[in-house]
Amino acid sequence: MWQVDQADDGSLTLARTDGKVLVEGLRFARGDGDERIEMMTGSYRVAEGSTDWTELEAGKGHGADGISWTWPLADKAGDPAGTLQIAVEQGLLLVGVDLLGGNRVRWDAACTGDDHFAGLGQHAMDVDHVGQAFPLWVSEPGIGKVETEEPPEDWFLTGTRHATSYPDPFLLRPEPMGLHVSNAARSEVDLCTGDRWRVDTWASSTRYVVLDGDTPLDVIRARSTVTGLPKLPPDWAFAPWNDAVGGTERVQEVAATLRAAGAPSSVIWTEDWKGAEETAWGYHLLPSWSHDESLYPDPSSTDADLEAAGFKWFAYFSPFVVDETTEAEETADFLIQDAAGEPYWFTGVSFEPTTVLDLSSADAGAWAQEKMEAALALGFDGWMADYAEWLPTDAHLSTGGAEEPHNLYPLWWQEVNAAAIEGYDATFFTRSGWSGSPARSPVGWAGDQRTSFDPDDGLPSVVPMGIGAGLAGLALYGSDIAGYQSIGNDPSTKELWFRWCALGAFSPVMRTHHGAFKDDNWQFDSDEETLAHYARYARVHTELFPYLRGLAELSRTDGTPMLRAPFLTWPDEPWGRSDAWLLGDLLVVPVTAAGATTWDVSLPGGTTWYDWWTGLPATSGVVDAPLDGIPVYAPAGAIVPLYVEAPDTLVDGPLDGVRTRTDADAERRVKVYAGAPGRFEEADGTVYETDGVATSTGSATGTFAEGTLEAGGLQLSVRSPVERTWTLEVYK
C-alpha cells in the first residue's frame, strides 16, 4: 500500500508503507505565462514571455484508509488556488492537480544527490538526462544537432539536443519509480540542474501517474498498463525489408538480386510508388496520394510477381496536402485552417505551399483511409506512415485550437493508418509518436539520420534512440541502414554501410534505405563484397526469428522491451550508457566510429559472458573490430532459439523455388550458455528450460514435441505444441 506524508513546510512525501520513498519534498506551483511559437519545416522556435510562478501550499488534507487523499491548494497569501487529489487505483498512485486560474502546473520535487532520469522518448544524444532541461514537444529532430537546448540561428534546419519526433511524457528514476504525465500539452522538464526536479505542464489541470516496482523493468511494465501494450505486425515483418525505387524494373531487379544472393527478405519498400523527382536536395517524392502510372504502370502485376517470390510490397503516405493538386480540391473542407477560415498553407518539404489534414475531423480520416485502402487494393501490404510533426500551433481544427493537441497529432495519424489495415495482412511504420503510440503503431524507426558517423545524428545516435524507444514501450524499432540525410555531411560510404548493416541485423527490424541522394550513397548492391556482407547479416537476422518473435510476444503481453538499456537487466551498469543495447539477453556493442580496427567493450559484471560468434568466454577490454564484424555477447543462462537455416522469406509457404517460414519451422538450433539457470519461451508457446551444471561444451540432437536433450552435462527440457528437430549447443 501507499502512504502520503505531509511535512511541516507543507511538502509531501510519496512512499510505500514498507518505507520505500519514491518522491520527497513534493510541491506544486501555478504559472501564468504566455508564449510565441514559430513553425518552419516542422521545427519550432518557442519564445516564452514572462511567466509568473506562484508556489502553492497544500492545506490540511484528509484521507481514507490509504486509498485517497484531498488537499486544498492556496497561494502564499492564503487565497484558494485549486485542489490536489491523490488516489490509489489498481496499485497505481494517481495524482491530480486542478488550478483556479493560471495556465501552467509545476510538479516540483527534491533531488536525492544520486539522481538519474531515463525515458522521455527517442533522443539522439542521451539515455540518462540528469542535469538537462528540455521540452517534451513533437517536432522535426533537425538535420544534425547542437549540444544545447538553445535554438541555433538555423533552428528550422538544425535541431537542439533534445528535439525529437517522438517525445514521451514518462521518466524512470532509480528508486525505482516512474512518473507518467497524463496530459498531451507541452511539458518542460528540469532534471536536477539544481537541487530540484521539475515538470512544468502547459495546462491548468494535470494528471500524473506515479509508478512503482521492485526493479526498473517492473516500472516499465506497469507503465504499459496505463498507455497500452504494444501492437505487433505480422510475423513476416521480422525478416529484412529492402527499399527499391525508380520504377518497376528496379523493383524487379532488387527482388531478383536478393534471391540470387541468398539474402532473406520479406518486404520490398517502394516509397516513390506515388512518383518522385530528382532535385537539388535529393530524390524527393511527389505530393500525390495515388500511384504513379509512369513509374509503376501495372502495380497489380508487379505485386503478383513479388508475392510469388515471397515478398510483401510497401508504399508510402504522409498527412501532407500540397496546394493546386487534386488532393487539395478533394480535402478542401477538412484541412487545417488559418484565422480567416481558409486552408493554412506553409512551405512544405517540396518547397511548395503545403498543409496537413485536420485529423481531428472524421471526414479527413475517412478520406485518408480511403486512399490507403485503394493502395491495398492495388496489392500493397503496408507503407511508411511518415511525418506528423508539422501541425502549426496557430492553426484552427474542427475541435478548436491546435496548440494544446499538437502532441496528439501523431496518435491521430497512427489511428487512421491502423484503421486502414484492419483486417488485412499488412502493417505500417512511423517515426513520430507520443504517449500511447506503441498501442497504435506496430513498428517505429529512428527517423532521418545523417549518412555519417557523427554522434549527434549519425550512426551512434541509433543506439540511444533505440533504448529510448524501448523505454517508451515500442516493441519493434529499426533505422535506415547507412542513414538518410546528406545535407551538411557526405553521402554514405562503404565503411558506414558495413557497420550500420551489422547493427541492423541485431535490431528488431532490419531495413535498407537508399537515402536522399540515392545515386551518391553506398547501397546494398554497390559491389559484390557489400552484397555478400548484406546477405550474411540478413541471414543472421532471419535465423534469429524464433528468438525475436518470442521477445516481441513478451513485449506484447507484459510490456518488457525487446531493446533494453543495459541497466534494466544489470543494475550496476551506468544509466547513461549509450554505446550498447540489450536485444533480449544479447549485449550488442556496435562499432560506431570511422576507421576503427579495435573497439573497447565493457561487459556487465556478476556473470560469465560469451562471444556470440565463437562461443568462447569473453571479458571486458579492447577487441578486434574487423569491418565485417560486430561485437555481440551472451550472458550465462541465456537461451537463444534459432532457425537452423534462414529461409528466403518469413511469408508462409509453400512457394515454388522459395524457402519460406513454413519450410524453416521444422527445425531449431538452440544456443545455451552455461553458468546460470535459463528459461525462454517462443511466441508459439515452446518453452525451453535448463537444468544441471555444464562441464564442457557440447551438442545433441533429437526430434520430439516434448523431451530433453543433454550435452556437456547440461540438460535442456523442451515443451512445444509441435514436433521439431532440436539441436542443442552448449557453450561452457
Q: How far apart are CA 545 and CA 508, in angstroms?
A: 9
The verdict on 422 and 550 lying in the same domain is yes
Percent of the chain predicted with pLDDT > 90: 94
Q: How far apart are CA 262 and CA 260, in angstroms?
A: 6
The verdict on 620 and 660 lying in the same domain is no
Q: For the chain, how many structural domains are there in total?
A: 4
Tell me if 195 is assigned to some domain: yes
The verdict on 598 and 521 lying in the same domain is no
The verdict on 587 and 695 lying in the same domain is no
State the pLDDT at residue 279: 86
What confidence tier does 122 reach under pLDDT thresholds 50, 70, 90? very high
What confidence tier does 60 reach under pLDDT thresholds 50, 70, 90? confident
Beta-carbon count within 10 A of 236 CB: 23
The verdict on 656 and 514 lying in the same domain is no
Q: What is the pLDDT of residues 476-524, one digit of tens each?
A: 999 999 999 999 899 999 999 999 999 999 999 999 999 999 999 999 9
Q: In terms of residue numbers, what domain contains 64?
A: 2-175+177-212
Preceding peptide of 654 cis, ω within 30°: yes
Q: What is the pLDDT of residues 369-387, one digit of tens each?
A: 999 999 999 999 999 999 9
Alpha carbon 26 to its chain's center: 31
Tell me if 72 is assigned to some domain: yes
- Taking residues 64-90, what's their average pLDDT? 89
* Local structure of residue 590 (DSSP, 8 states): -
The verdict on 624 and 646 lying in the same domain is no
State the pLDDT at residue 65: 62
CA atoms within 13 A on the CB side of 190: 14
Q: What CATH number corresponds to the domain at position 91?
A: 2.60.40.1760
Q: What is the pLDDT of residues 220-275, one digit of tens each?
A: 999 999 999 999 999 999 999 999 999 999 999 999 999 999 999 999 999 999 99
Tell me if 350 is assigned to some domain: no
Q: What is the pLDDT of residues 276-307, one digit of tens each?
A: 999 888 899 999 999 999 999 999 999 999 99
Q: What is the pLDDT of residues 403-454, one digit of tens each?
A: 999 999 999 999 999 999 999 999 999 999 999 999 999 999 999 999 999 9
The residue among 6 and 441 whose pLDDT is bigger is 441
The verdict on 608 and 646 lying in the same domain is no
What confidence tier does 27 reach under pLDDT thresholds 50, 70, 90? very high
Q: What CATH number corresponds to the domain at position 619?
A: 2.60.40
Q: What is the mean pLDDT of the chain?
A: 96
What string of H, E and C letters represents the secondary structure of 605-620?
CCCCEEECCCCCEECC
The verdict on 297 and 382 lying in the same domain is yes
The verdict on 363 and 469 lying in the same domain is yes
Tell me if 325 is assigned to some domain: no
What confidence tier does 67 reach under pLDDT thresholds 50, 70, 90? confident
Tell me if 339 is assigned to some domain: no
Q: How far apart are CA 613 and CA 469, in angstroms?
A: 27
The verdict on 368 and 392 lying in the same domain is yes
Tell me if 680 is assigned to some domain: yes
Continuous segment of H or E residues that includes residue 329: helix 326-330
What confidence tier does 2 reach under pLDDT thresholds 50, 70, 90? confident
Pick from 630, 651, 670: which residue ends a domain? 630
Pick from 526, 557, 588: which residue ends a domain? 557
Cα–Cα distances in angstroms (integers) from residue 414 to residues 104, 234, 442, 479, in the given order: 28, 17, 9, 19
With beta carbons less than 8 A apart as the criterion, state whether 407 and 434 touch: yes
3-state helix, strand, coil in the chain (%, to 5): 20, 35, 45
State the pLDDT at residue 9: 87
One-letter amino acid for residue 289 of the chain: W
State the pLDDT at residue 90: 85
Q: What is the pLDDT of residues 41-53, one digit of tens each?
A: 999 999 988 899 9
State the pLDDT at residue 281: 82
At 160, give phi and psi (nearest 5°): -80, 170
Q: What is the pLDDT of residues 568-606, one digit of tens each?
A: 999 999 999 999 999 999 999 999 999 999 999 999 999
The verdict on 467 and 511 lying in the same domain is yes
Tell me if 225 is assigned to some domain: no
Predicted confidence (pLDDT) at residue 541 exceeds the cutoff of 80: yes
Percent of the chain predicted with pLDDT > 70: 99
Predicted confidence (pLDDT) at residue 62 exceeds the cutoff of 80: no
Q: How far apart are CA 374 and CA 380, in angstroms?
A: 9
With beta carbons less than 8 A apart as the criterion, state whether 396 and 404 touch: no
The verdict on 515 and 602 lying in the same domain is no
Predicted confidence (pLDDT) at residue 627 exceeds the cutoff of 70: yes
Q: What is the pLDDT of residues 190-212, one digit of tens each?
A: 999 999 999 999 999 999 999 99
Tell me if 345 is assigned to some domain: no
Q: How far apart are CA 459 and CA 249, in angstroms?
A: 31
Preceding peptide of 80 cis, ω within 30°: no
Q: What CATH number corresponds to the domain at position 369?
A: 3.20.20.80
Q: pTM for this structure?
A: 0.97
Instruction: Outline where 559-696 has alpha helix (H).
Output: 566-569, 661-664
State the pLDDT at residue 63: 67
